[in-house]
Structure 1
Amino acid sequence: MTTIDIAVGETGRDGEHKVVAVSDGRVHLDRFDPAIAWKRTKFAEAAVVVLGLDADAVSEIEARIATEVVKADLAAVQKSKPDTVAAAPPDAWRPFPTDSLPARLAEFTRTAARSIGCDESFIALPVLAVCGAAIGTTRRVLLKPGWAEPLCIWAAIVGESGSQKTPAFSAAIRPLKRRQAELMKAAAAVREAFDADVAEYEKALAVWKRERGDSPAPSKPVPFPIGRVLVGDATVESLGPILNQNPRGVLLARDELAGWLDFDRYSKNGKGGSDVSHWLSWFNAQPTVIDRRSNPDPLFVPEAVVGIVGGIQPRVLDRAIGGDHRENGLLARLLLAYPPRQPKKWSEHGLPPEEEDRYERLVMRLYDLQHAVDDNGDPEPMLLTLDAEAKRLLVEFVNAHGREAADLTGDESAAYAKLEAYAARLAGVLHLVRWADGDVLKANRIDGVTMAAAVRLVEWFKREVRRVYRVLRESDDARDQRRIAEWIALKGGSATVREVQRGFNRLKTAADAEAVLQALVAAGVGAWESVGPGERGGRPTRRFSLTDAVTDDTTPLGTACDAVLSPEASGWDDDGWEAA
C-alpha cells in the first residue's frame, strides 16, 4: 500500500501555507491556503502526477490536507481561552468560510451575495437550512450505538432593517417556494374529485338515514393529503396534520422570525410553554402527540421534524428570546450570523438564471432521497456512517470542544452543547449535497473531507455565537463603540477624529468623537498613531487605528460583495447613527 505523508507548514505570504506531499522519496511542494477546497483539489491532482500515484489518491490527499487544517484549528482552540466580557474587546467579525461548502453551494452563495450586495453568511445559513429540510427525516448520521443525529437545522440571519436580509432569504428558499406551488396546484386538481366524492357521500348518507334499514352507513371519503414543504405562521395544533401527512418534515420559513418566537399569541392564558416544548422536540425529530380542540382524538407523529430559517433584527431577537427561551435552550439551537452592516450601493451584478437553476436542481435532487422501510412497512431513516478518517476528526473535535466548553456558563455553555451535535448534522448535509452534485463517493458513508469541512463551519459558528451573545447583552455605550469600530474597519482600519465626527450625526463635536475613540483605545480595540505632514506640508495629525487582531479578523463586506464603500457612508440608520 502506498504511503503518502502530508505536512502543512508555516504561514507564508497572504495567509498561504507550505503544503508538502511525500511518497517513496518523491516530493511535491506548493504554497496555497489549504482551507480552500478547490485549491486542495488542484494541489492533489498535481501531486499524483509528480509522485507517480494513481488518480484514486487525489481524494486521499485532499482528505489528509483537510485533516491537517482541522488539527491546526483545534490546536489553536486548545491554546486559547474564552475572553471575559468585562476585560476583553468584543470578538471581531470573521467572514463566513464559504469555501467549506460543497462547490455548487459555494458558487451559489458567492454569486447570490454579490448580486444582492449582502454578506455571504446571509445566503449560506438559509441555504444550509433548505438543504437540511429537503433531506428531512430520510437520513440520520450514526455516531455510535444509540446516537443518530437528524439533519434538522435552525438558522437565523441577524441584521438591522435594510441590511438585505429579505432578498438573501428569498433567494435561498426560492426552490422550496416553487415546489410548494407545484404541490398546491396538484392538490387543487385532487380536491375537485374529492369534493365530488363528498357530495355523493352526503346524498347517500341522507338516503341511508331516511330508510333506516339494516345496510351499513356509507363510508365517508378520506381527506386527501396535501403535500407541504413550507409553512409560515403555524401553530402547533395546525402543524399536527401537516406533519402527519408529510413524514419527511417541513421548513418553517419566515422573513421575520419575531412572529414565530411569540408563542403566546394563540394561548388562552398568555403562556405558550407547551408549544415551546413541541418545538424543542421537533428539533431532534422526536415522536410527538398533539391534542386538538377540533378533534377528540390526539394526533401521533412518530418522527416529527421542522427546520427553521428566517431573519430578525438584533434588538428584536434580544426581546423575543427573553429569559425563558435562554433557559429552555431555544436560543442555543439557532445557528446565527450577524455580519457588520455595509452601506447599500448599486451593483450591475445579477443572479444568473443558470446559477439559480443549478441550485434548484441540487435541492430537488435531495428531495429524491427516500426513506428506508421497517419490518412493519413504515418509513424510517437510513443511517449515514463515518469512515475511519471522519470518525477520527469527529472524536478530536468533540474532545477539544468539550475542554473548551468546560469553562463556559450560561448562554454560551448551552450553545456549545448544541454545536457539538451540529458537527454531525452539518457533515450529513454537506455529504448529501456532494452526492446530489454528482461527487463520486459512497452514498451512505461520510468521509474525512466532509467532516473536516463540517468542523470548520462549527468552529465559525462557535466564534459567531459568542460574538452575537455579547452584542445582545452589551450596553448602549458598548454598542455605539462597536458600531464605530466596525465602520472604521470597513474604511480600511483607521480614521481621524474629524472623519469619525463627520461619519456619525450623533457626534456633534470633535471632542465627542475623540472621547469615543479614546474609549476604544482603553478597551484594547485600537491605538493612536501620529501622521507627519504631507507633501504640501501642514501640521502633523493623529489617526486612530484598529489593532492587528481586529483588522485581521474584520474583512470589509465590500470585498465579499464587490461593493465600494463611500467615505461618507456609515451604514447605520437607526438611533441617530447615520451618515452625516
Structure 2
Amino acid sequence: MSNPVRPLRAVPTDGAQSGWEPPLPLATVRELPTFPVDALPLWLGEQVDAVAEAIQTPVDLPGCLALAALSTAAGGRAVAKVRPSWAEPVNLYTVVVMEPSERKSPVFSAMIRPIYALERKLREEAKEDIAEARVQRRAAEQLLAQAEKNVSTQHGNERDAALAEAVDAATDLAKMEVPSEPKLVVDDITPEAVATVLADQGGRLAVLSDEGGIFSIIAGRYSGQANTAVFLKGYTGTQLRVDRNNRPSELVENPALTLGLTVQPAVIDELGETAMLRGSGFLARILFAMPTSMVGHRKTRPDPVPEPVEHLYNDRLHTIAAALLDWTDEPAALTFSPAADDLMAELQAEVETRLARGGPWRHIGDWGGKYAGQVARIAGLLHVAEHPHNAWEHSISGDTFANAWRIGDYYATHALATFDQIGSDPALDNARRVLSWIERTQPTTFTRRDLFSALNRGRFRRATDLDAPLALLEEHGHIQHQPAPERPGKRGRKPSPTYWTHPLYRQDTT
C-alpha cells in the first residue's frame, strides 16, 4: 500500500528566498516500509530476525529469502486453491535491490543452507536407483546391439522374426530413462540451461543467487534481447517445450520455477531501456524489495543466530519438502476457508480501485493485475509453514491470509518505488524532464508557455500536457504556482500560468 503524500506548508507566493521547505524527491513513494517479519510463522520469523541481527543486514533480505526458501521446499508441489476455478501455484519470484556492500552472501548462506543440505540428502538417497537404472540401460543397449546383429545375419522368415525382436528391444530401450541427480537450486546459469535442468528435474527448480547475474542475462544485457520464455511459463505453470541437442524435445507439463535474487540498483536503472522485458510480462511477476541500507549504522559485535532457532528452521524446511515430495502427478490443494475467501474479495475490490483511471497503480497495471494471485501464493506458503506435515488437510485461515496481505502490501509499495526507478509512470517521467529543464536554465519564474516552447513537441504535443507534471512538481515543493492577477473587464486569451521556482534552482539568489 503506497504511503499518502505528506502535505507541504505553504510557500511564499511572492517568490521570496525564505520560507521554502526543501523539495521532496520526485517519487510516488516517499518512505518504504520494512518487511513485516511478524506476519511470518514464529519459527520462520525468529530465523529472519536472528540472521538480520547476526549479519547486520536489513530484515528485508532474509525475509524475502525466507519466502524463496519456502517456495523451493514446496517445490511446485502445492497450489493455493482460492475458489473452484482459481488455483495459484505457490512458487514466487523475488528480487531484492541492494548495493554490493550489504553482506548479501552470508545472508544467502544462512537462509539457503538447509536447501543445499536437502539437495545433498536427496542425491545420496537417489544413488542406488540411478546406478540400477544405468545398469539396466546398458543391458538393454547390449540386447539391442545383439538383436540388430541377428537381423543382418538372418534371411526370409527368420529375418522378419529377428527384425521384430530388434524393434521390441529398441522400444524397451527408449522407455528406459536414467534419472538425473536431484537438483533443487541453480545459480550461475543461462535461461536456456534453466529450461534444460528444469526438464531434467521434472519441472521443479529454484534459481537463487546473491549476485543476480542471470537477471542481467534475462534482460538482454549481453545479447541485446530479453530471454524470458522459461520464466514466464515457470511462473504460470503452462506447458513448456524444451529442445535438446541430439535428443528429442521434451514437454514439461506443469513447470514451477522459484526465483530468489539480489541485484544492484544499476541493473534496475537499465531495465527502463529494455521495453521488451516489461512488455513480455516478466517484471509483472516479480516481488521487488528495495531495503534501506544499514551501512554506517551496523553493530560491531552483534548476537549470533541461536542454535535452536537455526536448527528448527532447517528441520521445518526439510519437513515441508519431505511431506510434499510425493505430490508429483497432482499438486496438493491448499483450499481457502470462507474467511480467507471473504478477505480475498475485499482485496480484489481494493485492487480494482487502485488500477482504475487516476488510481495509484494505473501505471503498473501489469504488476497490479497479478497482485491478488501473488497474495494467494504467499498465503499458500505461510499455510505450508504453519502446517509443515500435512498442509493439505487444513484450510487456509483468515488470519493466514491477512498476514499474506500485509506482506503483499509491503511488496506493493516497493513495486511502486522500483517501477518509478525503471521509469514507468508517464507523469513522473514528464515531471523529471521539466525539473531537468529548470535545473539547466535556472529561472526565477517561468510560464507554462515558456516551458512548452522549450521542450520536445514530440513528448508534449499541447501546452496542457504540462499540467500534470507541473502539478506533481508543485506537490513535491519544487515550484509554486503564482495566482493570476485579476483582469476586470478584459477580454482575450488569459495569460499563461506562471510559476516560481524553488530558490535552490535559481541563478539569481539576491
TM-score with structure 1 setting the length: 0.61
Cα–Cα, structure 1 residues 188 and 411, in superposed 2: closer, same or farther, change >3 Å?
Answer: farther
2:228 corresponds to: 276
What code does the residue aligned with 2:305 have? L
Cα–Cα, structure 1 residues 392 and 193, in superposed 2: closer, same or farther, change >3 Å?
Answer: closer
1:223 Cα deviation after fit? 1.6
1:161 Cα deviation after fit? 0.7
Asked if 1:256 corresponds to 2:211, the answer is: yes
CA distance in 2, matches of 1:259, 1:130: 18
- Is this contact kept in 2: 1:390–1:447, CA < 8 A? yes
1:162 corresponds to: 101
**Aligned-partner SS, 1:256:** coil
1:8 corresponds to: none
Task: State the Cα deviation string for residues 166-207 of structure 1 (Å, max 9, x = none).
Answer: 222222111111112223344555554455445545554444
CA distance in 1, matches of 2:380, 2:477: 40
1:102 corresponds to: 41
CA distance in 2, matches of 1:245, 1:292: 11
1:243 corresponds to: 198
**How is 1:123-522 mapped onto 2 (pairs within 5 angstroms)?**
123-212=62-151, 213=154, 214-215=161-162, 216-217=165-166, 218=169, 219-220=172-173, 221-235=176-190, 237-240=192-195, 242-247=197-202, 249-263=204-218, 270=223, 275-295=227-247, 297-319=248-270, 322-343=274-295, 344-370=298-324, 379-406=329-356, 407-408=359-360, 412-436=364-388, 443-473=393-423
1:94 Cα deviation after fit? 2.0
Cα–Cα, structure 1 residues 395 and 172, in superposed 2: closer, same or farther, change >3 Å?
Answer: same
**Aligned-partner SS, 1:329:** coil
1:30 corresponds to: none
1:111 corresponds to: 50
Cα–Cα, structure 1 residues 388 and 200, in superposed 2: closer, same or farther, change >3 Å?
Answer: closer
CA distance in 1, matches of 2:345, 2:316: 30
Task: State the Cα deviation string for residues 404-459 of structure 1 (Å, max 9, x = none).
Answer: 22224675322222222111111111111111289xx9833111110111111111
Consecutive unaligned residues of structure 1, counting only runs of 5 or more, are: 1-72, 479-519, 526-580
- Is this contact kept in 1: 2:191–2:218, CA < 8 A? no
1:467 Cα deviation after fit? 2.1
Task: State the Cα deviation string for residues 449-504 of structure 1 (Å, max 9, x = none).
Answer: 101111111111111211233344499xx9xxxxxxxxxxxxxxxxxxxxxxxxxx
- Is this contact kept in 2: 1:326–1:411, CA < 8 A? no
- Is this contact kept in 2: 1:96–1:120, CA < 8 A? yes
CA distance in 2, matches of 1:147, 1:272: 33
Task: State the Cα deviation string for residues 304-326 of structure 1 (Å, max 9, x = none).
Answer: 11010011101123325722212
1:287 Cα deviation after fit? 1.9
More strand as a share of residues: 1
1:550 corresponds to: none
What code does the residue aligned with 1:389 have? A
Number of residues of Structure 1 aligned to a counterpart in Structure 2: 396
**Aligned-partner SS, 2:323:** coil
- Is this contact kept in 2: 1:422–1:458, CA < 8 A? yes
**Aligned-partner SS, 1:368:** helix
Deviation larger for 199-208 or 92-101:
199-208
Aligned-CA RMSD value: 3.6
- Is this contact kept in 2: 1:152–1:284, CA < 8 A? no
CA distance in 2, matches of 1:411, 1:437: 42
What code does the residue aligned with 2:347 have? F
What code does the residue aligned with 1:256 have? E
What code does the residue aligned with 2:184 have? V
What code does the residue aligned with 1:108 have? Q
1:159 Cα deviation after fit? 0.6
- Is this contact kept in 2: 1:393–1:452, CA < 8 A? yes
TM-score with structure 2 setting the length: 0.68
What code does the residue aligned with 1:138 have? R
2:451 corresponds to: none
- Is this contact kept in 1: 2:134–2:178, CA < 8 A? no
Cα–Cα, structure 1 residues 243 and 524, in superposed 2: closer, same or farther, change >3 Å?
Answer: same
What code does the residue aligned with 2:42 have? A
1:128 Cα deviation after fit? 0.4
Cα–Cα, structure 1 residues 137 and 88, in superposed 2: closer, same or farther, change >3 Å?
Answer: closer
- Is this contact kept in 2: 1:430–1:450, CA < 8 A? yes
Cα–Cα, structure 1 residues 522 and 395, in superposed 2: closer, same or farther, change >3 Å?
Answer: closer
Cα–Cα, structure 1 residues 346 and 189, in superposed 2: closer, same or farther, change >3 Å?
Answer: farther
Cα–Cα, structure 1 residues 173 and 320, in superposed 2: closer, same or farther, change >3 Å?
Answer: farther
CA distance in 2, matches of 1:93, 1:413: 20
Cα–Cα, structure 1 residues 180 and 368, in superposed 2: closer, same or farther, change >3 Å?
Answer: closer
What code does the residue aligned with 1:252 have? V
1:92 Cα deviation after fit? 1.1
Cα–Cα, structure 1 residues 290 and 206, in superposed 2: closer, same or farther, change >3 Å?
Answer: closer
Deviation larger for 205-214 or 279-288:
205-214
CA distance in 2, matches of 1:437, 1:206: 49
CA distance in 2, matches of 1:450, 1:208: 61
Consecutive unaligned residues of structure 2, counting only runs of 5 or more, are: 9-23, 155-160, 433-472, 479-510
CA distance in 2, matches of 1:205, 1:266: 48
Cα–Cα, structure 1 residues 298 and 460, in superposed 2: closer, same or farther, change >3 Å?
Answer: same
1:381 Cα deviation after fit? 2.0
What code does the residue aligned with 2:350 have? A
CA distance in 1, matches of 2:387, 2:290: 30
Residue identity over aligned pairs, in percent, reads: 22
Cα–Cα, structure 1 residues 382 and 353, in superposed 2: closer, same or farther, change >3 Å?
Answer: same
- Is this contact kept in 1: 2:28–2:416, CA < 8 A? no
Cα–Cα, structure 1 residues 350 and 404, in superposed 2: closer, same or farther, change >3 Å?
Answer: same
**Aligned-partner SS, 1:289:** strand
**Aligned-partner SS, 1:286:** coil
**Aligned-partner SS, 1:137:** coil
CA distance in 2, matches of 1:299, 1:393: 40
Task: State the Cα deviation string for residues 264-314 of structure 1 (Å, max 9, x = none).
Answer: 8799xx4655x413311211112222233432x331111111010011101
**Aligned-partner SS, 1:253:** strand
CA distance in 1, matches of 2:394, 2:96: 31
Cα–Cα, structure 1 residues 205 and 138, in superposed 2: closer, same or farther, change >3 Å?
Answer: closer
CA distance in 2, matches of 1:264, 1:293: 25
1:228 Cα deviation after fit? 2.3
What code does the residue aligned with 2:112 have? I
CA distance in 2, matches of 1:449, 1:367: 24
Rg comparison, structure with higher value: 2
1:513 corresponds to: none
